Amino acid sequence: MAIERTLSIVKPDGVAGKHIGEILRRFEAAGLRIIATKMTHLSRREAEEFYYVHKERGFFGELVNYMISGPVVISVLEGENAVLKHRDLLGATDPKKADKGTIRADFGKDIGTNTVHGSDAVDTAKFEIGHFFSGCELHPLK
C-alpha cells in the first residue's frame, strides 16, 4: 500500500470543545504519523482560498465565516493509505449520517459544524498541504 500524506484540520468547534488531544490521539492510534501541526486563526482570505472549489455552492459564505470564527489546528498526517484512513476516522460529512465511533459522529453538531476537515484525494492533499506548510515545516522520519 502506498505511503500518502493528507491534511487534517480540527475546526473551531473541535478546538472550542477541547477535543484536540482526543482527535490527534485517534490519528496516531490508527497508525498515522503527525509530521507537522500548528494552531492558527485563519484569515478570511486563507479560508476562501482553501475552500475555493466550493465558491459557487450556497453554503460557501457560511463555511468561510465558520472556519474563521475561532482557532483551528492544522496537521499533516503520513502513513499507508493515509487519505482514506483519515476520512474513515472522520466519518460522513453530516455527523447525523456518520458511523458510530467516528469523530464527526462523536463530536460534530451538524453538517456545517462537523469538527474536522480531511483531504479527499492525494492530489487535493498536495494542494492543501502546500496552502499551509512549506517543505521544511514537514518532519517525516528519516
If the CB atoms of residues 37 and 112 are measured against ligand ADP, the closer one turns out to be: 112
How many residues line the site for ligand ADP (CB under 6 A)? 9
Map grid coordinates 474513515 to a residue.
Answer: 88
- State the catalytic residue, choosing from 41, 117, 131, 139: 117
Site for ligand ADP in 69-98 (CB under 6 A): 93
Q: If you ran DSSP here, which 8-state letter would residue 59 be given?
A: T
Helix count and strand count (H, E) for the chain: 7, 4
Which of 9, 10, 23, 63 binds ligand ADP (CB under 6 A)? It is 63
Closest approach of ligand ADP to the CB of residue 6, in Å: 12
**Span near ligand ADP by CB under 6 A; candidates 32-40, 42-50, 57-65, 129-137:** 57-65
Distance of CA 107 to the CA centre of its chain: 14
SS3 assignment, position 6: strand
Measured from the CB atom, the residue of 9 and 36 that comes closer to ligand ADP is 9
* 105 Cβ contact partners less than 8 Å away, ≥ 6 residues apart: 91, 95, 98, 99
C-alpha cell at 5: 500524506
Cell for 91? 466519518
Q: Provide the minimum distance between the beta carbon of 50 and ligand ADP in the complex, in angstroms, as a whole number.
A: 10
Q: Does 114 bind ligand ADP (CB under 6 A)?
A: yes
Q: What phi and psi values does residue 48 have, to the nearest 5 degrees? A: -65, -40
117 given a catalytic annotation: yes
| Residues near ligand ADP (CB under 6 A) | 59, 62-63, 93, 111-112, 114, 117, 120
